[in-house]
Amino acid sequence: MMATIGSCESSDMTYATHLTYKTHLMSRIPLSQLGWAFLLTLVLLLDASAREPIPAPPKVEVHTKTVRARDLGIPFDGTPGKFNAITDVPGVEVGYTTLISGEGKLEVGKGPVRTGVTAILPRGRDAMNDPVFAGYFSLNGNGEMTGTAWVEESGFLEGPIVLTNTHSVGVARDAVIAWRLAHGGPDAEGFAWSLPVVAETWDGWLNDVDGFHVKPEHVAHAIESVQSGAIEEGSVGGGTGMICYEFKGGTGTASRVVFVAGIGESNSSASPNPFTIGVLVQANCGRRPQLTIRGLEVGKKIPGSVYKRETGSIIIVVATDAPLLPHQLKRLARRASLGLARTGSVSGNGSGDLFIAFSTGNPHAADAKPPIRTIETMPNDLMDPLFTATVEATEEAIINALVDNHDMTGRDNHKVEALPHDRLRALFQKRNQSR
């Protein structure tokens, strides 16, 4: 995992792809135009180095090894997909912009910066304008998820889901609209409008949240960098500056593959036709003593604190390829609450626990023509496996956000430690030996 990015000034912020816009522009200049300038610069540098010592460059800590919760021997229920990620749902793509710069004392508007943007495209970039059925649920509403009034009214999610910090919701929302106008244009009647879904959690303990460092180009970059397959977790994208159970939190994901009774069961002669549930969380909630992992009270066994009271939130996005209708997806979104509860959260008064679920089934269901169309769905009586998978994947996604992470120091030298792998592994080994 490449989750830590070197320090740089806010105007030249390095993205999660480790490519700055300035570097991108330089890469397009012909080499012949750079040759003599490069040689002259090299001579000057060599001459200067002979006269006075050159200070060592700042040490940049690089985290390349991905360690997820299952790697530590944590026994989760259910069968994950190939990547154990929301991108196991066919068509779903995820992109990030990770903004990390500065250190030391907070200077509002300058930093330190520990924030970013996450973009989730339900059908990927190639089908951005094909809405999906969706449902929304608020477990505790001390937070923001824009566009949900229209999701509730229409039953459709249009465009991407974007996650960022609390004070960047407005710019992110406007940037999504601008990006869609630039890449989609008006509809058949000449109108172009959008009510995008943008959600937030607060990263002000580590980040200069009042400095408004997320810009429209950062939102555009997150959308344009989406990918399927394996995706990064931890301190990336909108999760960069987040804290979960007073350990370093952020972005986590997981998935489950399920068979629904009577629909291509694996033990029948028919061809298996499994469905996939994928979950992505931006985890920024809970107090240390609450943290529970597979029934083990980990937070009490690894004591510590960051806050005097809970000030965090969690956004949970549930995706599936099962052909569900909006009311069924709202039911699915509710089940994310149970996965969250398994990790110990009580959804405190200060927490914005907002969940959205969507289905990639029924493509073109929102098209105006033909005026009458056939929609696939499944009976409510068959949804229990999907409910179970949602609970399981939500639980694991939250733990992945904690495990696949690293220590971070932010504004005013506030430091948040990552969940220690060795102690967590030892706790589970001890429990297994006592059984």
Angstrom distance (rounded) from CA 222 to CA 238: 10
What pLDDT digit, counting tens, does each position of 127-175 carry?
Answer: 988 999 999 999 999 999 999 999 999 999 999 999 999 999 999 999 9
Q: What is the pLDDT of residue 417?
A: 97
Hey, what are 277's tokens?
């549930």
pLDDT of residue 215: 98
**Whether residue 80 has pLDDT greater than 80:** yes
* Closest alpha carbon to 326 in 199, 196, 152, 158: 152
For the chain, what percent of residues have pLDDT higher than 90?
72
Is the predicted pLDDT of residue 12 greater than 50, yes or no?
A: no
- Residue 350 burial (CB count, 10 A): 16
Predicted confidence band of residue 8 (pLDDT cuts 50, 70, 90): very low
Mean pLDDT of 69-78: 95
Q: How far is CA 434 from CA 293, 426, 431, in A?
A: 17, 12, 5
pLDDT value at 217 more than 80: yes
Do 7 and 71 touch, CB atoms closer than 8 A? no
Domains in the chain: ranges and CATH:
69-434 (3.60.70.12)
Average pLDDT value for residue range 397-415: 98
Q: Mind telling me the catalytic residues?
A: 313, 351, 353
Overall average pLDDT of the 392-419 stretch: 98
Q: Is 116 helix (H, G, I), strand (E, B) or coil?
A: strand
Q: At residue 49, does pLDDT exceed 70?
A: no
pLDDT at 50: 41
The Cα 14–Cα 3 span in angstroms is 12
**pLDDT value at 318 more than 90:** yes
pLDDT at residue number 184: 76
Least confident of 8-12, 18-22, 148-152, 368-372: 18-22
Reported as a single tens digit per residue, the pLDDT across 357-376 is 999 999 999 988 888 989 99
Q: What is the pLDDT of residue 188?
A: 57
Residue 61: predicted pLDDT:
44
What is the reported pLDDT for 269? 45
Residue 19 has a pLDDT of 34
Instruction: Please tell me the predicted confidence (pLDDT) of residue 308.
Output: 80
Task: Convert the pLDDT of each residue in 173-206 to its tens digit.
Answer: 999 999 998 887 656 555 678 899 999 999 999 9
**Main-chain dihedrals φ then ψ at residue 114, nearest 5 degrees:** -145, 80
pLDDT band at 7 (very low <50, low <70, confident <90, very high): very low
Mean pLDDT, the chain, integer: 86
Q: What is the model's pLDDT at position 185?
A: 64
